[in-house]
Amino acid sequence: GINNNIILKILYLENHASTTYIQQACYGNGFEDYLIPTCRTGEKIYVYDVFVYAKRKELNCPQIATYFDRNITYCCNYVNEKEDCGQRYFGTSSDFEHAHYSRCSGMETCSGIPVAWNYTEHFCDISIFDERTNYMKMWYSCIPDISSMSINSISMLTDNPVFLFSENYPATMSECSVTSGATCALQTTNGSPIQITVLDLQLSDASGICSQRLYITDGFSNTEISCQDNNHFQKRIVYKSINSRIEMRLDNTVTSPAGKFWIQIEGARPKVTPFNFKHKNRSVVRLASWNVERFDGEKADNVGVREVICMTILENGFGVVAFQELADESSLNKICDELNNPTVPRVKSWAGKRGAWKCVVSKSTGRMYRSMEYNGFLYDTSQGISLKSSAILEKPNKATKDFVRRPFVGIFKMKRFDCIITSVHLKATGLSNEDLDQLQAEIDKVPKVVKALEDHYPGEKDIILLGDFNLEPDQEDFDCLRNKGFSNAIPTGTFTNISNKNMKGSRTYDHIWLTKETKNITSGNSGVVREGLTNPLIPNGWSWGGVVSDHCPVWVEIYVGKDLDIADLSTGAEAIKFTLGTEG
């Protein structure tokens, strides 16, 4: 039967990070050790991970519960991956495994779960670690009741994520005549797409056929969350909408109580507090670099692409952005126009400072793939930033070509601070490193670019080299820069690439090299933006939800209240001929 009492709920959602809590307990206290997750009144417990760990043999930590001689400091707490070997707890039976999650999840209070163990031979080196695990570690969150509701309940208005659960949760839901057909509608206030994360999904497939589904439509596409998404308490994102409003319906054909779910619904972009352009009450500008991967007019016309790029700039408070891999001369203007006269709902609804943007695009710097490549600067004049002049590196007549893609130089004034920014996109090494020697040759030429700038602008100490260097910054290839006093603002090991298959990245190819004088006027803040770089409207192969580029933007924050050198930067960069090549 179908529940005809369908309730419409309009929910206003933004993305908020939830706090993670940890419980640890170990063997060796006479069966008295328990994992006891604790939340405040008005909150529900959600256990999303339980791991078992073994300690190194020489610590003699207890492997049985009745062995009292133990060192709590060393035996009962995680230290690091060299001292602890562990994995997700898999239990001795499915019932016992799930008890460590289900006994407390969805409850206001929990009496505790006894410490359990696994043999370690399949995931630890038992010549180093104990044969049985010594302790357990639990990760859990506290979900506010005010943000939680049943799909059968009344409407709600909130700025927090909504936690939607089946009737009777954590018990199983009632049979189909009571539950099937329950419907809700959800919408974000800020125009953000909606994402759904499953916390506990146990839809019924007892008959061998999935008998319970959550059907979702956003007006663009239809999808369903079904039994194949059952997650064994492994929290994961299962859905992202294209639009900012979705409708959801529970379909249930089971004629007896069965199945349950608890899901988290929120805006797909993180909530951001607008930047105030100050650090310790002093004015700063955030200087960024971004390889936007084959960025042509067609890519710029994609609404999802414009949203990601513009919102990344606004949310992070960038003042100057150097772009690499522009595929034509007009694509950057579309980003500039969107910032100044927004048409994308998410950009239009931005509550922070919007800025007044200008951009400049270089002449062709070289070739990439099947098109010419251009370089560009985008800058916010409302932050007191102006571009005095710009030019690409020119080789002298009949000289050999020093760079596959020539660097682009901009002379900037930022309030009282002025500097020379050089944006580069060095030669990629190739799939088998066949072009590594050419990349090395280009890196070796970079200090000569610096020398040419110093010669043309005597006394200027603030020279910044940024862009896609296609090599890790700790490589000895960059000793030529370090020997001239440059240092990279992006820490080694902070990855700058991204893909849908590896959102954490694996390479640090994008750098911001600063002279020692410029480093001395940085605020100490720098970073890599990794959040909010996907959008449901961006293609991902034959699917959707792709990343805007395979590079993340990198940035550094600089004080702009004064300028410590005496150089005159009034000479136009357009007139410079950098004599780096060998005359032929």
* DSSP codes joined into one string, 87-144: EE---SSHHHHHHHHHTTTT-S----EE----B-TTTS-TTTB-SB--EEEEEEEEEE
Model pLDDT, residue 492 = 77
Angstrom distance (rounded) from CA 430 to CA 436: 8
Q: What is the CATH number of domain 159-267?
A: 2.60.120.290
Angstrom distance (rounded) from CA 248 to CA 91: 35
pLDDT digits (tens, 9 = 90+) for 49-88: 899 999 999 998 988 876 767 777 888 888 888 899 998 8
The token pair that represents 15 in the structure block: 């993305």
How many CB atoms lie under 10 A from the CB of residue 485? 14
- Return the domain boundaries, the chain: 19-144, 159-267, 282-564
Burial of 27 (0-12, 13-18, 19+ CB in 10 A): buried
Angstrom distance (rounded) from CA 429 to CA 435: 4
pLDDT digits (tens, 9 = 90+) for 448-492: 889 888 888 999 999 999 999 999 999 898 999 999 999 999 987
Strands (E) located in 482-547? 487-488, 510-514, 522-528, 539-540, 543-544
Beta strands 282-295 and 554-559, pairing class? antiparallel
The least confident of 56-70, 105-119, 281-295, 313-327 is: 56-70
What pairs with residue 371 in β-bridges? 368
Q: What is the mean pLDDT of residues 574-583?
A: 51
pLDDT at 555 over 80: yes
How many CB atoms lie under 10 A from the CB of residue 281? 6
Q: What is the pTM of this model?
A: 0.65
The single residue listed with the structure tokens 């994520």 is: 161
Tell me the pLDDT of the chain averaged across its residues: 86
The token pair that represents 38 in the structure block: 């604790």
Q: Residue 173: what are its φ and ψ, rounded to 5°?
A: -75, 160
From residue 172, give the alpha-carbon distance in Å to each of 14, 91, 102, 201, 379: 29, 23, 12, 11, 56
Distance of CA 580 to the CA centre of its chain: 39
Q: Residue 331: what are its φ and ψ, rounded to 5°?
A: -65, -40
pLDDT digits (tens, 9 = 90+) for 176-188: 888 888 888 888 7
pLDDT at 578 over 60: no
DSSP string of 365-413, one letter each residue: -EEETTEEEEEEEEEEGGGTEEEEEEEE--PPTTBPP--SS--EEEEEE
Helix (H, G, I), strand (E, B), or coil: what is residue 199? strand
pLDDT at 3 over 60: no
Model pLDDT, residue 157 = 58
How many CB atoms lie under 10 A from the CB of residue 271? 17
Q: What is the CATH number of domain 282-564?
A: 3.60.10.10
Helix residue ranges per DSSP H, 463-519:
479-482, 516-519
Q: Pick the closest to residue 555 from 514, 506, 507 (CA basis).
A: 514
Model pLDDT, residue 25 = 87
Model pLDDT, residue 243 = 77
Q: Residue 459: what are its φ and ψ, rounded to 5°?
A: 90, -10
Would you say 152 and 83 are in contact if contact means Cβ atoms under 8 Å apart?
no
- HSE-up of residue 190 (Cα within 13 Å, Cβ side): 22
Model pLDDT, residue 434 = 60
Count how many residues are written for the chain: 584
Would you say 160 and 101 are in contact if contact means Cβ atoms under 8 Å apart?
no
Q: What is the mean pLDDT of residues 279-302?
A: 97
Of the pLDDT bands very low, low, confident and very high (cuts 50, 70, 90), residue 561 is very high
Cα 577–458–480 angle (5° rounding)?
Answer: 75
CA 333, 335, 336, 340 torsion-angle sign: positive
Would you say 52 and 100 are in contact if contact means Cβ atoms under 8 Å apart?
no
